[in-house]
Amino acid sequence: MTQGTILVVDDEGPIREVCRRTLAELGFEVQAAGTGEKALARLRERDFDLVLTDIRMPGAVDGVRLLEEVKRRCPCTDVVLMTGCPTLDTAIEALQQGAADYLLKPFSQAGLEHVATRCFERRRLSRELDREKLLRRELEAAYAELQKVEQLKAAFLARLQHELRTPLTLVCGVTDMITKGLSREDVSPVLKKTLLAGTARLREVVEQLLVFSDLQSAELKLEKTPLDLEQAIRALVADSRGLWEQRRLKVEVRFASPLPAVPADADLLRTAFKHLLLNAVRFSPQGAAIRIQGARDRDEACVTFADEGIGIPADQLSKIFDSFYQVAEFMTRKVDGLGLGLGLAIVRRIVEAHHGTVSVASREGAGSAFTVRLPVSQA
C-alpha cells in the first residue's frame, strides 16, 4: 500500500527524475509531467493527493495557473510550488491561491522529503480531525435522541400513573363504601355510574397496554378471513354511539361503492378502526362532525376518518404514529383524557401487518384525516 499519490510537474527532465525517484523511495506512488498542459491531462484521468509543480514553465499553463486549476477541480488536493527565482510577491500570491507549501531550488533530497512528509502529515491530521468532528456530531445526535426517549418515557410513565390512578380512585371509593356496610342495593345511581365509568376506563387502559404488548412480536400471526369493511365500520360506529353522542358529535359513514371483502384478521382490524374513531372523537369539539368514507383505488380499499378537531402542527406530522406520541406537551395541554398515546402506534402496526399503509393529512386548527389503505387481494 502506497503512502499516497503525487504528480511532479517540471519542464526540466533531471529535476523531474530526482523528485520521482526520491519520493518513490519514501513509498509514494509518483507520476511526472513536463508541462502544465500534460499535468492537466493527468488530472483529468485521476486524482492525486499532492501536486509538486514548478512555477515558471513554458506554455499557457504555468505553475500558478496549474495551482488555480487544481484547486478548482479538486480542492482537497494539496499543491507545493517550486521556484528558482523566489520573490515575496510570488510567495504571497501562491499562498493566497491555496498552495500548501513553497520549495526553493536548488533543494536537497532531505528538503524534498521534509516538504512531502510534512504535507502528508497535515493531511493525516486533517482527516483525523474530520473523523473526530463527525464522531462528535454522531454522539451529540445520539445523546439528543436518548434524551428525547427519556423524556417520552418519563411523560408516558406520568400519564400511565394518571390514567390508572383516576379510575382506581373511583372504583376503590365506591368499593370502600360498600365494604363499610352499604349494601349493593343501597348504592345510588350516581355511585353506580361512577363505578361503571371507573371500571370501564381501567379496563380500556389495561386492554390498550395488552394489545400494544402483543403487537410488538416480531412474527405477528394473523388469522385472515374475508372482511366486509363497510359492515365492520357501521357496526363499530353503532357500538360507539354512546361515546360520540355524549359529546354531541355527528358521525357520517359513506362508502362510494360496495367494496370487495379484504383478507384481514377481523378482530385486529376492528381494533385499528376503533382507535381511529376514538382519536377523532377525543380531538373533536362538541357539536362537530366526523366523516368516515370508503372507496376503492385500483387494488386497494381506502377508508378515511376525517374530523374537525384541533389538527396537528406540520412539524409533528412525522411523529404521530410513534409510540407514546400523544403525551407530547402540545396534545396534553389541548385535550384532557388522551389515554396513553399508544392508539396510533397500534393502528400503524396492525395496518402494516396487513401489508397496508396509514397516512394523515392535517393542518393545525383545521382538523385531520387519517387514511387506511389495504390490499383487496391476498397477494
- The DSSP code for 299 is T
* 306 phi and psi angles, rounded to 5 deg: -115, 135
Residues 178 and 48 in one domain: no
Alpha carbon 273 to its chain centroid, in Å, reads 26
pLDDT at 330: 45
Residue-wise pLDDT for 211-259, tens only, equals 666 666 656 778 889 999 999 999 999 999 988 888 899 999 999 878 8
Residues 196 and 338 in one domain: no
Instruction: State the pairing for strand pair 300-306/262-264.
Output: unpaired
Residue-wise pLDDT for 278-329, tens only, equals 889 988 888 899 999 999 988 899 999 999 888 888 877 777 777 655 544 4
| Torsion on CA atoms 181, 202, 221, 153, rounded to nearest 10 | -140
CA distances from 291 to 71, 241, 308, 317, 367 (A): 62, 14, 9, 20, 11
- Determine contact, residues 251/274, Cβ cutoff 8 Å: no
CA distances from 68 to 62, 160, 183 (A): 10, 65, 97
Q: How many folded domains does the chain comprise?
A: 3
By CB atoms closer than 10 A (0-12, 13-18, 19+), residue 346 is: buried
pLDDT at 141: 86
Residue 125 counted as domain residue: no
Domain range for 201 is: 140-215
Residue 195 counted as domain residue: yes
Residue 93 counted as domain residue: yes
Residues 314 and 295 in one domain: yes
Question: Which residues of the chain, if any, have pLDDT below 50?
Answer: 327-338, 340, 379
Indicate the residue among 58, 86, 107 that finishes a domain: 107
Which CATH number characterizes residue 338's domain? 3.30.565.10
Instruction: Give the DSSP H/E element, type plus range, for residue 367.
Output: none
Beta bridge mates, 104: 83
The pTM of this model reads: 0.50
Residue 122 counted as domain residue: no
Residues 190 and 247 in one domain: no
pLDDT at 374: 93
Residues 75 and 160 in one domain: no
Residues 316 and 196 in one domain: no
Residues 99 and 16 in one domain: yes
Alpha carbon 24 to its chain centroid, in Å, reads 48
Residues 200 and 230 in one domain: no
pLDDT at 139: 86
pLDDT at 342: 73
Q: How far apart are CA 79 and CA 43, in angstroms?
A: 13
- Provide the sign of the torsion angle of the four alpha carbons 297, 302, 306, 312, taken in this order: negative
- Determine contact, residues 54/82, Cβ cutoff 8 Å: yes
